[in-house]
Chains A and B, each alone.
Chain A
Amino acid sequence: MSKSHIQLTINGKKVEALVEPRTLLIHFLREQQMLTGTHIGCDTGHCGACTVEVDDMSVKSCMTFAVQANGANITTIEGMANPDGTLSALQEGFRMMHGLQCGYCTPGMILRAHRLLQENSNPTEDEIRHGIAGNLCRCTGYVNIVKAIQYAAAKINGTPFQEAAE
């Protein structure tokens, strides 16, 4: 079983590597690239903790082989902050709205919410909830995660953020 040579871009940086075809993208990112921000949750494709961005798609990296990402442009949580190192609107939203407790689901939530806002910059609460339906959080009950994404959408759009009534 020969190794495959892959070239890809991760968080704006060109990367070349040799991988066994069976190496999952999540293991490649965490163990070969030492990008441990992306988490392995259920390891069965259900929980979304391993979500990364691959060529403008939200992808569960535990369900993808690294070789399939040959030539792709990948963003992980390590690439989400603003270029000057300040928090992105989404990261700030999760902080300000207490959108995390244990933090395990947060990298996947933020990557998924990022793509959601790229495709729909002003989502309704319902669209947010359906948009993050592939990401499980066992702490928050999702209420503050939804607020965090609404906060980020308002900040990106330059509109005032109004916290929804309980």
Chain B
Amino acid sequence: MIPGSFDYHRPNSVREAVGLLTKLGEEARVLAGGHSLIPMMKMRMASPEHLIDLSAIGDLKGISIERDTIKIGAMTTQYELIHSDILTKHLPIIAETSLVIADPQIRYKGTFGGNVANGDPGNDMPALMQCLNASYELTGPGGARQVAARDFYQGAYFTALEADEILTAVLIPVPHSGHGYAYEKLKRKIGDYATAAAAVIVTMSGGKCTSASIGLTNVSDTPLWAEEASATLVGSSLDKATVDRAVAAAEAITDPASDMRGPAEYRTKMAGIMMRRALERAASRAKG
């Protein structure tokens, strides 16, 4: 399979990349790892006339921590997320999630920014970013602005990103140091998108849940932040009756498609089961 013809650009700065995007208009696409876009181009489901490769822009790489916020450059690869000392120490759920994305080869090339910006409901990082209440830095001709991950996704492949903007970084508030975490993903095989998946962060104190946040992957046109389910857990001891109510609240906001991964009803139930398993594991990891 051979993609349609295009012109290739490799700018050295964000400013230059945004300039190209503005000048070339709708016929241009940015290229990050390429492992979502290139397959689409090979199948001729995408035929951009210009590709703007972001790989030479050093500013888009790297992971840093400043006070209570972790900043991850958009072109940081999944492999780099998995091997980051900062993330291992402060935010291990990122590596746990990266490790169930695609396969080793794709994780060398696939980027964090591409995963969150693409708007594919099958991608795993968006629900995790909603769970963590992350913000995306979007840079356009007028400068940078921030949009919360919880407000970014509008539909499958539709996001708050404007045509002349590039998602340049993700900002994540560092959770409480004793937090428990887990990402549970049901998939048919290595490399598959989720039938359903759940990200859970909890903090515990004296046997009581003091905060909880839950994100759900691939059970709607967009990632889902299960706000009511999260709130249901707070103040409880995570007893079975409370967890049952929270799971029901999470299942109620899902709206999955029936597809080769199973009928909609099954995928809704699997979202509940992934949430239940993630919550159990997160609670067992929480200190306090």
| A interface, CB within 8 angstroms of B | 1-2, 4, 20-22, 24, 27, 43-46, 48, 51, 57-60, 63-65, 67-68, 70, 112, 116, 130-134
Contact = CB atoms under 8 A, between A and B. Distances in A.
B228 interface: no
Nearest to B107: A134
A65 B106 contact: no
A65 B105 contact: no
A22 B3 contact: yes
A15 to B, nearest CB: 18
Interface of B: 1-8, 10, 31, 34-35, 38-39, 41-42, 51, 53, 55, 79, 102-106, 108-109, 190-191
B105 A48 contact: yes
B38 A64 contact: yes
Nearest to A61: B105
Contacts of B191: 46, 133-134
B8 A63 contact: no
Contact of A134 (B3, B5, B79, B105): B105
A60 to B, nearest CB: 5
Contacts of A59: 105, 108-109
Contact of A2 (B7, B55, B104): B7
A21 B105 contact: no
Nearest to A60: B105
Contacts of A131: 104
A1 B7 contact: yes
Given A1-B6, A4-B8, A51 B42 contact: no
A148 to B, nearest CB: 17
A22 B2 contact: yes
B38 A63 contact: yes
A65 B42 contact: no
Contact of A22 (B6, B31, B104): B6
Contacts of B38: 63-65
Contacts of A64: 34, 38, 109
A116 B3 CA distance: 31
A20 B51 CA distance: 13
B31, B35, B79, B105 interface centre (most CB from chain A within 10 Å): B105
29 contacts: A1-B6, A2-B7, A4-B8, A20-B5, A21-B6, A21-B8, A22-B5, A22-B6, A22-B41, A43-B1, A44-B39, A44-B42, A45-B106, A46-B191, A48-B103, A51-B105, A57-B79, A58-B104, A58-B105, A59-B108, A59-B109, A60-B35, A63-B34, A64-B38, A65-B34, A68-B55, A133-B103, A133-B191, A134-B190
A27 B5 CA distance: 15
Given A1-B7, A43-B42, A48-B105, A63 B2 contact: no
Nearest to B53: A68
B106 A134 contact: yes
A150 B31 CA distance: 37
A68 B38 CA distance: 12
B4 A63 contact: no
A70 B41 CA distance: 20
Contacts of A65: 8, 34, 38
B39 A112 contact: no
A59 B110 CA distance: 10
A68 B111 CA distance: 15
Contacts of A44: 1, 39, 42
Contact of B105 (A24, A68, A112): A112
Ranked nearest first, the 5 interchain pairs of A and B with the lowest CB-CB distance are A134-B103, A21-B8, A57-B108, A1-B5, A133-B190
A143 B35 CA distance: 29
B149 to A, nearest CB: 26
B35 A63 contact: yes
Given A44-B42, A58-B108, A112-B105, 19 more contacts: A4-B8, A20-B5, A21-B8, A22-B2, A27-B2, A48-B105, A57-B79, A57-B105, A58-B104, A60-B109, A63-B106, A64-B38, A64-B109, A65-B8, A70-B10, A116-B104, A131-B104, A134-B105, A134-B190
